[in-house]
């Protein structure tokens, strides 16, 4: 007889509107077409687009994609930071029912691997990345659209290269009042987005998110912390699920999207000045961003300067569980509500807090969410407040699987269809969820998820490396700093820490660099089933001081 499941269920979810995501977004754009507030604003330059113009430009972009031969069922790869034209071009693809594969910023080899994974007909990129994109294209990627008014490049390619202006012109005759979105016959089957995820183990993956699942995410977020008329600061790029979600919910609700870009080296950005100048009401930022903001606020007060966050109603954070003391500290220093939530690309938002904050908690279960906490050793569901277990979840925003990998999809689901998150947590007597630790392999550097297997593969490509294991070295702001443990091949040429760090730096994007160091060992500890014992190595790293990272 099988052990009983202990499933905790969130409140009842809203009913799906019964339309495609493209229709849902188009109806929202039309609904807000007469608003006098801007639809989007560049946080640095102040350049803006009105709600009437974002509707017109999105419809023109939709017709432009159609003119290029992209229709429902085709894929567009998006490879761009936040900028003025990326949003209407992106919205146009959604309206047409084109699957948008949102590719995180990468090296040439990483980008090619992602393009192979999603097989796009066209690529949408920024001017700064155009030459990189052109250098890796194959004949299958026939069009490149650049998020700029004009295009200038010395690179050669067989692909047709167009500017944003060119694409809008192709759809110039389109009218919002007569435009009909692309044909999506089954909202549960049609894939709206292929979103990046580090997964719980192995190499990075593309998560298939259907029209149905993402619309359900927006349905929940519409009753959450963003309100009509808000000024929402968006510093997550679209390749992060938070950037994607907050961009679209701002559109759905008729809020102003103030966009920028948060990065690990963004310490010199005048965040407090931006918040005041644009009268920001809501901002999602990862815990490392909160640390930067609080540090800036303390430094200003020490100089006797003003810290004005009076417009900010709430700062939202996620990515790693924030300790209660740290959450209270941030709220006190920044003089505003700091609320946590917990979500993953594969499942959506699992839990979310609401004012007044319950420090240390990521909140209660979201509508329609089903949660089990499973003991790691016994595999049995835990029962009772304060009992630790692995979070396993399913809900209305559940993914459709991993792109091109049914086997990997099967590996992350348990026998009852629940997603194994690899996160350890407990619930209190009031149903609040508290994240404690991770048992999954993936790590997060400055809020960016990293799959250790990708870095390990680069290290193992060196002829002097026999074994490699990459884990996160604890850091008070950056959270997990990639750190390698290496066993050398006997009888091969010698290799140094610097040589291996340079190898990774030359092959992979900046967040994967081995800033935590390379430690050479005679052997790497293994678990009883022969897997790398990452927990053992992480415990040893906790005995060392945090690395002095060169960003």
Segment of 27-41, 197-211, 436-450 carrying the highest mean pLDDT: 27-41
- Whose tokens are 């102040």? That residue is 46
Question: What is the C-alpha separation between 512 and 482, in angstroms, rounded?
Answer: 6
Q: Where are the alpha helices (DSSP H) in 401-485?
A: 406-412, 452-460
Across the range 100-122, mean pLDDT stands at 91
Could you tell me the pLDDT band of residue 495, with boundaries at 50, 70 and 90? very high
Across the range 431-456, mean pLDDT stands at 82
Which of 387, 415, 438 is the C-terminal boundary of a domain? 438
Same domain, 434 and 449: no
Question: Has residue 208 been placed in a domain?
Answer: no
Kindly give, in sequence order, each residue whose CB lies less than 8 Å from that of residue 90, ignoring residues fewer than 6 positions away.
Answer: 78, 100, 124, 238
Nearest to 168 by CA among 88, 274, 71: 88
For the chain, how many structural domains are there in total?
Answer: 3
Comparing 436 with 16, the larger pLDDT belongs to 16
Backbone angles phi, psi at 72, to 5 degrees: -55, 130
Comparing 550 with 10, the larger pLDDT belongs to 10
Across the range 252-259, mean pLDDT stands at 98
pLDDT surpasses 70 at 199:
no
Which of 438, 453, 476 is the C-terminal boundary of a domain? 438
**Cβ atoms 298, 333 nearer than 8 A:** yes
Same domain, 458 and 387: no
CATH of the domain at 363: 3.40.50.12780
- Provide the pLDDT for residue 203: 67
Question: Has residue 425 been placed in a domain?
Answer: yes
pLDDT surpasses 80 at 319:
no
pLDDT surpasses 70 at 272:
yes
Least confident interval from 178-182, 265-269, 352-356: 265-269
Same domain, 406 and 494: no
pLDDT surpasses 90 at 376:
no
Same domain, 413 and 387: yes
- Provide the pLDDT for residue 1: 41
Same domain, 429 and 483: no
CATH of the domain at 492: 3.30.300.30
**Regarding beta strands 143-146 and 122-125, do their DSSP bridges make them parallel or antiparallel, or are they unpaired?**
parallel
Q: 404 is written with which tokens?
A: 């091109």
pLDDT surpasses 50 at 470:
yes
Question: What is the C-alpha separation between 89 and 144, in angstroms, rounded?
Answer: 12
* Parent domain of 364: 233-438
Q: 11 is written with which tokens?
A: 């409140």
Strand (E) or helix (H) holding 207: strand 205-210
Which of 438, 461, 488 is the C-terminal boundary of a domain? 438
pLDDT surpasses 80 at 315:
yes
> Would you list the DSSP string of 50-81?
EHHHHHHHHHHHHHHHHHTT--TT-EEEEE--
- Whose tokens are 């067989």? That residue is 158
Question: Has residue 521 been placed in a domain?
Answer: yes
- Provide the pLDDT for residue 247: 98
| Residue 157 preceded by cis peptide, ω within 30 | no
- Provide the pLDDT for residue 492: 73
pLDDT surpasses 90 at 313:
yes
- The β-bridge partners of 8 are 371
Q: How many residues does the chain have?
A: 551
Question: Has residue 432 been placed in a domain?
Answer: yes
Percent of the chain residues topping a pLDDT of 90? 68
Same domain, 260 and 379: yes
Backbone angles phi, psi at 388, to 5 degrees: -80, 140
Torsion of CA 467, 518, 202, 377, to 10 degrees: 90
CA dist 551 to 294, 400, 469, 473, Å? Answer: 19, 36, 22, 15
Question: What is the C-alpha separation between 184 and 39, in angstroms, rounded?
Answer: 27
Q: Considering the entire predicted model, what is its pTM?
A: 0.84
Question: Has residue 433 been placed in a domain?
Answer: yes
Nearest to 92 by CA among 194, 31, 169: 169
Could you tell me the pLDDT band of residue 107, with boundaries at 50, 70 and 90? confident
- Provide the pLDDT for residue 408: 83
Same domain, 134 and 72: yes
CATH of the domain at 111: 3.40.50.980
Across the range 292-299, mean pLDDT stands at 85
Question: Has residue 33 been placed in a domain?
Answer: no
Q: 12 is written with which tokens?
A: 């009842």
Comparing 101 with 536, the larger pLDDT belongs to 101
Question: Has residue 2 been placed in a domain?
Answer: no
Across the range 177-184, mean pLDDT stands at 95
Question: What is the C-alpha separation between 76 and 66, in angstroms, rounded?
Answer: 12
Kindly give, in sequence order, each residue whose CB lies less than 8 Å from that of residue 321, ignoring residues fewer than 6 positions away.
Answer: 340, 342, 360, 362, 425, 434, 435, 436
Question: Has residue 19 been placed in a domain?
Answer: no
- Provide the pLDDT for residue 264: 42
Same domain, 393 and 304: yes
Same domain, 361 and 457: no
Question: What is the C-alpha separation between 364 and 344, in angstroms, rounded?
Answer: 15
Same domain, 428 and 375: yes
- Provide the pLDDT for residue 268: 60
Same domain, 356 and 462: no
> Helix or strand or coil: residue 202?
coil
Same domain, 253 and 401: yes
């Amino acid at each position: 007889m099988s052990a009983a499941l202990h499933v905790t269920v969130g409140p009842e979810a809203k009913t799906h509107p019964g339309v495609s995501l493209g229709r849902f977004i188009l109806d929202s754009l039309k609904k807000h077409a007469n608003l006098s507030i801007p639809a989007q604003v560049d946080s640095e330059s102040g350049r803006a687009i009105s709600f009437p113009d974002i509707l017109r430009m999105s419809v023109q972009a939709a017709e432009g994609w159609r003119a290029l031969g992209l229709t429902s069922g085709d894929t567009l790869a998006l490879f761009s930071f936040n900028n003025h034209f990326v949003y209407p071009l992106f919205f146009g693809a959604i309206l047409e029912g084109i699957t948008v594969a949102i590719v995180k910023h990468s090296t040439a080899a990483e980008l090619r691997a992602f393009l192979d994974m999603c097989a796009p007909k066209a690529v949408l990129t920024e001017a700064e990345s155009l030459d990189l994109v052109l250098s890796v294209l194959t004949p299958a990627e026939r069009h490149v659209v650049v998020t700029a008014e004009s295009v200038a490049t010395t690179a050669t390619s067989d692909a047709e290269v167009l500017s944003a202006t060119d694409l809008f012109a192709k759809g110039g005759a389109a009218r919002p009042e007569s435009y009909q979105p692309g044909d999506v016959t089954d909202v549960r089957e049609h894939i709206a987005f292929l979103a990046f995820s580090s997964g719980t183990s192995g190499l990075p993956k593309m998560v298939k998110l259907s029209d149905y699942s993402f619309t359900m995410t927006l349905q929940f977020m519409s009753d959450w912390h963003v309100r009509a008329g808000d000024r929402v600061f968006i510093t997550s790029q679209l390749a992060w699920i938070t950037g994607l979600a907050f961009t679209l919910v701002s559109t759905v609700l008729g809020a102003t999207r103030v966009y920028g870009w948060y990065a690990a080296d963004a310490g010199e950005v005048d965040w407090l000045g931006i918040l005041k100048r644009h009268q920001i009401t809501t901002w999602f930022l990862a815990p490392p961003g909160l640390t930067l903001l609080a540090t800036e606020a303390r430094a200003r007060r020490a100089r006797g300067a003003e810290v004005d966050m009076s417009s900010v109603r709430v700062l939202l954070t996620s990515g790693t569980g924030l300790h209660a003391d740290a959450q209270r500290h941030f709220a006190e220093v920044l003089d505003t509500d700091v609320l946590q939530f917990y979500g993953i690309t594969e499942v959506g938002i699992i839990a979310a807090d609401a004012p007044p904050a319950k420090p240390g908690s990521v909140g209660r279960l979201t509508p329609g969410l089903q949660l089990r906490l499973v003991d790691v050793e016994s595999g049995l569901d835990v029962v009772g407040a304060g009992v630790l277990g692995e979070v396993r979840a399913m809900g209305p925003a559940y993914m459709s699987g991993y792109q091109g990998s049914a086997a990997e999809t099967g590996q992350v689901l348990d026998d009852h269809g629940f997603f194994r998150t690899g996160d350890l947590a407990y619930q209190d007597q009031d149903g609040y969820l508290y994240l404690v630790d991770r048992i999954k392999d993936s790590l997060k550097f400055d809020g960016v998820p990293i799959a250790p297997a990708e870095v390990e593969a680069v290290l193992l490509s060196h002829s002097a490396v026999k074994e490699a294991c990459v884990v996160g070295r604890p850091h008070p702001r950056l959270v997990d700093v990639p750190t390698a443990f290496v066993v050398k091949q006997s009888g091969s040429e010698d290799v140094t820490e610097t040589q291996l760090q340079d190898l990774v730096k030359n092959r992979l994007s900046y967040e994967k660099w081995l800033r935590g160091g390379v430690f050479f060992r005679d052997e790497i500890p293994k678990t009883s089933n022969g897997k790398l014992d990452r927990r053992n190595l992480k415990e040893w790293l906790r005995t060392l001081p945090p690395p002095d990272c060169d960003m």
